[in-house]
Amino acid sequence: MLICTLDPRLPSNLDQNVPQYKRDFRRKYIYFRSQAAMRPVPGQCHIKVARNAIFEHSYNEVMRVPVSELKKRLMIKFDGEDGLDYGGVSREFFFLLSHEMFNPSYCLFEYSAHDTYTLQISPHSKINPEHLNYFRFIGRTMGLAIFHRRFLDAFFTSSFYKMILKKPITLEDMQSVDADIYRSLKWTLENDISEMGFTFTVDDDRFGERVEVELKPGGKDLDVTEENKKEFVQLSVQYRVCDRIKEQFEAFQAGFHELIPEDLIQVFDERELELLIGGLAEIDIEDWKKHTDYRGYTESDQVVQWFWKFVAEMDSEHQTRLMQFTTGTSRIPVNGFKDLQGSDGPRRFTVEKSGDIVALPKSHTCFNRIDLPPYPDYETLSTKLTLAIENTVGFGQE
């Protein structure tokens, strides 16, 4: 886990009784908000939009106003409505706008390979000739929301957050982008591919046309061997996750950093950035329990009863962290836990009896599963679960 107490920029006078992960996040958040670049400037910034054309109107308004003006107090007004913006109107504005900006029907974003509620940049956005302007607008809008302490009703793949933070992309990030290619690349690492005839190229689908792309200069003439296959896999991941959307992401980034300095945002990790952008999800514990499966346990088993007691006694932030730990995201489908998705389609949350009682619980985010050992008492279960949630590296689940 990223321990913030080692960073001399961050404050250290926080209550030591709160969990470590929460101390870390609060410390980072206090530092982030205390910097001069994140302080609103005097005055007001008036933005007027129509509800039935919120995307286009917002694009015109947000891109028209100088960045220095956008740092003033936001005063949002919906056309034909008299409501004064004391915070509620701007919250609704960002909520409604995020539903439009990230709507896959605009071809700017698409759903991840896992589900229909986690988003990623679409490599096919070029179908819209103005797409780069829109990505700059979306970046500016996301920065605007963070600057003014508002949330967007949207959640993204882990690779998207990591790209914002300039963190390395790994094979595991490929799962949410393309599950089939992830499995193929994983197979490549685990098997002898000497006789497969692979070269340092990938086939890309560009509007129905199959195009061969070299992963490095001269790649079509370079065979993949046991000695260089790790490089082949890493370059394949880099291309699939990052290079295909390089122009789009750079445009987004340009807009985002107009309001949020690069060095400041990098104090967070990808899970914390998700919370900074999307806020805490409101979790319905009864709905969660109702749509949970058990392996090796039954709902009436004592350990299962202790598990739900532990969940119910958590605060909302801790519940969200548990969601991130077990499913990879804090995002809950619109229709609740019954629509939870895994890497291979619908996949209910599952509690599996697995592991030694001295071990910490493990999670398998592709399958929305937690491996919960048969702990002998509630205190042990509570301690082990807390440690698992707080001390995993970037929620580095299996």
**366 tagged catalytic:** yes
What is residue 78's three-state secondary structure? strand
Give the burial string for 83-121 (b: 16+ CB within 10 Å, else e).
eebeeebbbbbbebbbeebbeeebebbbbbbbbebbbbb
How much helix, strand and coil, in percent to the nearest 5, is found in the chain? 50, 15, 35
CA 4 to chain CA centroid, nearest Å: 21
Q: Any residues with CB less than 8 A from the CB of 348 and at least 6 apart, and which?
A: 291, 292, 293, 337, 338, 340, 368
Q: What is the C-alpha separation between 97 and 94, in angstroms, rounded?
A: 5
Please say whether the beta carbons of 113 and 179 come within 8 A: yes
Catalytic residue among 45, 107, 242, 366: 366
What is residue 207's three-state secondary structure? coil
CA 227 to chain CA centroid, nearest Å: 34
CA 109 to chain CA centroid, nearest Å: 14
Q: What is the C-alpha separation between 81 and 330, in angstroms, rounded?
A: 34
Which residue carries 């004064």 as its tokens?
84
Beta-bridge mates of residue 47: 76
Q: Any residues with CB less than 8 A from the CB of 138 and at least 6 apart, and which?
A: 101, 108, 252, 255
Question: Which pair of tokens denotes residue 83?
Answer: 């409501």
Question: Which pair of tokens denotes residue 383?
Answer: 């301690």
- Active site residues per annotation: 366
